[in-house]
Amino acid sequence: MADKERSMGALKDKLLAPGVRPRVLEDCVQVIDAEVQAKGGLTGLAIKGAYKMVKTVGPSIIRDSMDGLLDDFAGRLEPIYDEWKEKGAGQKLQAYMAARTAQVANALLGITDDRARRANSGTLKKAYETLRPTGQKHVEEAVPRIGGLLEKYAA
């Protein structure tokens, strides 16, 4: 029990440390950039176009958005990280997470799920519910890169 208590918050401590956080944020932006560039087909064209527009309007908007979400992301991923530390049996964190794409995606999307539930606008809630499955797919596709980023700082 004492080991488990000591490990609580370990991921957050590693990712959010003052000297580390700026590097984590830059790597998060690189992960997002790589995921966008990897998109193909008509959906990929739409995503790339929208992403380019957002970056043109506000060059730091992606980094700033990640900065606002990083604490929540680290908190949501903490149980998965703790599980890996306990049961990972020498497996790399990236591989452990890649084998649990739906679990990781649901943990991360839980943040926006909570925000959508609190939204006052029924239209906004309905739009979110419509887009949520697509978001799930895209986040699941990003899990190996997310796992690699976490492994860099937390493994």
CA distances to 13, 27, 31, 115, 143 from 91, in Å:
22, 22, 22, 34, 16
Tokens of 59: 């060059």
User: pLDDT digits over 35-84, tens only?
Assistant: 999 999 999 999 999 999 999 999 999 999 999 999 999 999 999 999 99
Residues 103, 112 contacting (CB under 8 angstroms): no
Question: Taking Cα atoms as reference points, which of 119, 118, 108 lies closest to residue 147?
Answer: 108
Query: Domain coordinates of the chain in residue numbers?
Result: 2-154
0.75 surpassed by pTM: yes
**Residue labelled with tokens 């895209």:** 138
User: pLDDT digits over 2-41, tens only?
Assistant: 444 444 479 999 999 999 999 999 999 999 999 999 999 9
Give residues with Cβ within 8 angstroms of 150, minimum separation 6. 11, 15, 77, 81, 93, 94, 97
